[in-house]
Structure 1
């Protein structure tokens, strides 16, 4: 080696850190949204009493060795190990645990988690739950409610009362209900390692959770997993449920509850409801030798993309456990049918009425789904359950029903389908879970009424289990966007202004360097109001990306009119990073997880505040920082924009930004008009009327998205008409000229 070259080698230039921290830069060390300061500042219990050695820097800390390599450590009080004479095993959660370490002739038990505590401390649980902004309340406890009480309530409501007295009594009832709600403070889940030691879940399930990289639970997992899993030691003297009565205590300790969860987008709700389902199915398989045929758990999702994502997560968690998950597809059968029922179900209602009985088509029935977990959209599952007319087959084997994005599934668009599936699950021990980032009070009352009506329809038998309470878990502020997103509300005046603003985002070099404009980098989503507007915007921006960067292959459009194979192909390319800009409708606004998404552009204003929360929640997932949400609005949107401005203001307050740094100032909120309830309903149902489909000269529905002025479009229409007239015969051209000569030269200012 040449020494002179080595001495003359110049040092490497120090690479400057990126100016912007993007969500796609990597996984977040702490996926929690709240309580980060407390968790980061709290010293570790194992190093609390350890002193710094002489000469050791303050920034240096001693790192603990793994248990397999720490040969000279002495077991502490929290990590005591007992000697055993034989090779006996310790049963944990109904399984034989062979994970033991041998040192010489002694067989030692594996170390337990240092944070494991046998004593329930209600004050400490309250502190942890409040620092993470978790509130757990019992909405309805049905233990003492009989049919007579329900009838008395109905009779009181039916009595004629004056408006003033009725209003006063309603307010008094609301206040009394708020006071009567019982708040719970269960022991929170501090790490996923406690699922095995404290709650006794399956060893294979715990291994799959560890392989997926889940170590620190998010807020929704921290609060809901202890409720759904129950406790391995269901002792009656446990103080966790003393305040809610003995009847509720037994169900609480066994995880026998119905749960309604409101948690921010990207907070891990899918994992929170899949882990208890898989663990419950594994415990049922051990206790029963011949399980019931058919699916035992159903998960409903509003879109096929979200349903496919849930199936993938379920397969990862259930790997090697024997629990199968399936996505409901066309032609699949859920229940066993007879030949007559199968032929009737294969036809639509119109075909059954028009076709004679002897000529009715029959087709070979598919095999019944053998998967324990069935994930489906409401319409796909309802078509598989349809018997004749409005009758549907029953699902007695299903004992767990999950409604993901429950506010949409119980909205008038899907309500009838979702409730039909809910009523088809006739198992008395059915447990229901409703999960969403936004949940209105009307949804809560609908859930309570559905639970009441379903329970009253069940036959009263001695084997009928007691009713389960309905528990609500709220994380953070209800119906608010996550605090780690930067919101930009931009007034573009016209449709041409929105298109120019979007083109500036595609060319960030044209933006000013003072940081006043939003800094957004691909990949990102662009949301439009309707499918024609999405296709029109895609055709307008198709050639905006230069060929050196990939050209038109970097922009794609995704909507419900595409085939399932085309939609899955676009989703795969977008996840791989081959597509940088994906233009879509509200099809991808809910539940779909894009971990590397840098931002969201609302080209068209969302139809409601809840739609805005779900749209912008596609970025900043799992605690990642740097997500940017840009919303353009025009003069047509001014009557409806205040709802979105209030959501942005609440999110920035939750983030801790002052009045000077806030995007939404108070003067803007005072200037914007407040929409009425009727306007909100009209906007949610139809959207902005100015952006609905427009028919062109050929009669085709086409949304007008262009930077061309009205004068340029009129000239193009005249040229198009002239070309069409030129193709006609000379006789028609002569008659047209004669008509033109008979008219005056001045035709006015009409185009």
Structure 2
């Protein structure tokens, strides 16, 4: 029988009676363990000591400290962009070429003047052919030096502008704003109506939550919050999330930049985690007034729901209808949309409806409740079940019962964290006076501020699209890196401008009120109002693009004589923030006024070149459209016509209501029954065409009259018949 191996065996052996072991076996093992090899000692000395890190802590609140660099992006929107059939020249290319041309002409003129001056100083100087390469005072040789000097002079001028005092005059403290004494107080009847309509205040009181973990939020959502960099809930989030999880209707308001988007997205995601998964259906609808805001909300919601199986869909204008229809057929859980495109899909997309919608959210609800959106909003509400949960949010949210009744709210909860008409507490508001006889200096004042004081991360608001575009050209010609955002741009250009400004590729964003609501761009230091808005709520939304989430910010508003009322309201509403008056030296304004006047010709040339480029692009698009009609005529004509819930007249009236007050067509109060002429409001081409048609019609009538008159005359000259 083979002898058993007592060592290096994988199996546990049985000790038999005849096996003998030494009694000091344990001592031998201890001695072996106490004699490590020299090599192992050296290795232990070389390796760092792996002990428990006493600085390590568990993040029990589910929040991160840094978060992702870009809290939102337009990836989903870019995937739905329409394919451009015709490539077109960019306005930046046109401006760049024009600027190079202006610089070249200026340098050539300077070189000519220098050459003429040198010739006048040395009229008899004769140069040999052999000395051509060393002649520094000749035309060809001195041109480079002149150009170099010109560039140095320009750099010195710019540096002089930059090194001047940023304040350009002392900032005078106007006064700390106090609450308005003459504000219109609500009547007792209105107070009673609100008490009967809204839920009692006692039911709204909830526990104050310092972390997201105490709100019964699931782990996948906590992970998404940590990934986004959310650490501690804001006041609006702390109060909204528990009530929203109970399924109650909410009417919420908080200052700009307080985290209202996450306040309604988090409870939506939490409720959808427990949805029935047997059949797919659209259970949540989020409405936004602008395309960019809808794309931002969609991006934030998608990132918060990264670690869940919840699906999202973006439905806004300017993007491919076919791609949106394909996504809607898959019945996404959440649809983020603008009202117009949503109604288009409800009426014309097969298989999409809101019959199973459980939650309706309206971001910037006060804008959606205005008259311009009333008809569209009514159409959307008709398509939603009456048993839904409705949540309304805005920085300037109204508690007007008459407006809220249209939303069919059921005993809604009022959650107003801050005063309705109040700017952020860390916002410094500055005002620049524009005198009545100096309205033309607005552009020079703006250019002086941007060249000398506010050089980065600045958004500038204009009242009209034309003003924003013209200022974009001016900024480009003077070398300021700016982008524009307004309704005349394509959706691709609008998204590109926002992303470039967010990423710091451009220093200035020239925008209309399209960018005034909801957009959250980190790092905006300054907001400049080229014109004071006509509504105070709009002013609050504009200046709310800065000083967000507890950061500091500054707003500068150019105030004319007609803006005194709005200025008074702004000063009175600023309780905690400083209000200052910024002064500019008259010589500085005149200097930039002269610079703008010298570029007026170039601005007109750029506008003309852009107009020609647009006409060429439109002609190419019409040609491409005609080719498609010929090639795919059978498929195109077989499609059902897209329908709308309004007639053309009603649609135009609704579009007119959406416009700001200063752009609405108003009837003359002195003559309300005035009837407009046949040619009023027409373009020159249409008016002339209509006049020519009327003249032709008059000539035909005259010709018919002449024929009838001739017939009557001929008939009257005939002899009468003799009766028998």
Contact 2:223–2:307 under 8 Å retained in 1? no
Distance 1:221 1:440 in 2: 19
Distance 1:335 1:634 in 2: 46
Aligned twin of 2:98: none
Matched, 1:649 2:572: yes
Matched, 1:409 2:368: yes
Secondary structure of the residue aligned to 1:607 is coil
Aligned twin of 2:461: 527
Secondary structure of the residue aligned to 1:432 is strand
1:505 aligned to 449, 453, 477, which one? 449
Distance 2:238 2:272 in 1: 22
Q: 1:378 to 1:449 in 2, by over 3 A?
A: closer
Aligned twin of 1:306: 293
Aligned twin of 1:445: 402
Q: Which has the larger radius of gyration?
A: 2
Q: 1:177 to 1:207 in 2, by over 3 A?
A: same
Matched, 1:483 2:471: no
Q: 1:315 to 1:204 in 2, by over 3 A?
A: same
2:189 aligned to 170, 173, 180, which one? 173
Q: What is the RMSD of the two structures over their aligned residues, measured on CA atoms? A: 3.5
Contact 2:378–2:406 under 8 Å retained in 1? no
Matched, 1:557 2:484: yes
Contact 1:333–1:369 under 8 Å retained in 2? no
Aligned twin of 1:377: 338
Aligned twin of 1:190: 209
Aligned twin of 1:595: 522
Q: Deviation per CA, 1:571-620, whole angstroms, max 9, x where unpaired? A: 11111111101111001000011111111110011121010000000011
Distance 1:322 1:434 in 2: 26
Deviation at 1:524, TM superposition (A): 0.6
2:495 aligned to 568, 587, 591, which one? 568
Distance 1:424 1:333 in 2: 22
Q: Deviation per CA, 1:129-151, whole angstroms, max 9, x where unpaired? A: xxxxxxxxxxxxxxxxxxxxxxx
Deviation at 1:662, TM superposition (A): 6.1
Aligned twin of 2:393: 435
Deviation at 1:484, TM superposition (A): 1.1
Q: 1:334 to 1:393 in 2, by over 3 A?
A: farther
Deviation at 1:633, TM superposition (A): 2.2
1:685 aligned to 639, 657, 661, which one? 661
Aligned twin of 2:356: 397
Secondary structure of the residue aligned to 2:215 is coil
Distance 2:570 2:417 in 1: 16
Matches within 5 A, 1:104-115: none
Calculate the TM-score normalised by the size of structure 1: 0.51
Contact 1:527–1:586 under 8 Å retained in 2? yes
Deviation at 1:211, TM superposition (A): 1.9
Contact 1:535–1:557 under 8 Å retained in 2? yes
1:631 aligned to 543, 554, 557, which one? 557
1:220 aligned to 236, 239, 242, which one? 236
Aligned twin of 1:275: 266
Aligned twin of 1:3: none
Higher fraction of helix = 2
Aligned twin of 2:257: 266
Contact 1:392–1:424 under 8 Å retained in 2? no
Q: Deviation per CA, 1:296-334, whole angstroms, max 9, x where unpaired? A: 111111111101101110111101211111211555589
Q: Deviation per CA, 1:714-751, whole angstroms, max 9, x where unpaired? A: xxxxxxxxxxxxxxxxxxxxxxxxxxxxxxxxxxxxxx
Aligned residues: 412
Calculate the TM-score normalised by the size of structure 2: 0.52
Contact 1:192–1:214 under 8 Å retained in 2? no
Q: 1:68 to 1:480 in 2, by over 3 A?
A: closer
Q: 1:417 to 1:490 in 2, by over 3 A?
A: same
1:290 aligned to 258, 270, 278, which one? 278
Distance 1:500 1:176 in 2: 52
Secondary structure of the residue aligned to 2:274 is helix
Q: 1:633 to 1:450 in 2, by over 3 A?
A: same
Deviation at 1:226, TM superposition (A): 2.0
Matched, 1:495 2:439: yes
Distance 1:281 1:366 in 2: 19
Matches within 5 A, 1:410-425: 410-425=369-384
Matched, 1:544 2:478: yes
Q: 1:540 to 1:686 in 2, by over 3 A?
A: same
Q: Quick one: higher RCO (CA 8 Å, sep 6+), 1 or 2?
A: 2
Contact 1:521–1:598 under 8 Å retained in 2? no
Aligned twin of 2:215: 199
Contact 1:529–1:687 under 8 Å retained in 2? no
Matches within 5 A, 1:159-170: none
Query: What stretches of structure 2 of length at least 5 have no aligned partner?
Result: 1-52, 61-185, 583-656, 667-682, 686-724
Aligned twin of 1:318: 305
Secondary structure of the residue aligned to 1:641 is helix
Deviation at 1:207, TM superposition (A): 1.2
Deviation at 1:394, TM superposition (A): 4.6
Q: 1:534 to 1:662 in 2, by over 3 A?
A: closer
Q: 1:607 to 1:296 in 2, by over 3 A?
A: same
Deviation at 1:263, TM superposition (A): 0.9
Q: Deviation per CA, 1:498-524, whole angstroms, max 9, x where unpaired? A: 11211111222xxxxxxxxxx534111
Query: What stretches of structure 1 of length at least 5 have no aligned partner?
Result: 1-62, 71-169, 230-254, 337-364, 453-467, 509-518, 546-550, 665-680, 691-697, 701-751
Q: 1:201 to 1:401 in 2, by over 3 A?
A: same
Secondary structure of the residue aligned to 1:632 is strand
Distance 2:219 2:278 in 1: 22
Secondary structure of the residue aligned to 2:372 is coil
Matches within 5 A, 1:605-620: 605-620=532-547
Distance 2:353 2:530 in 1: 44
Secondary structure of the residue aligned to 1:622 is coil
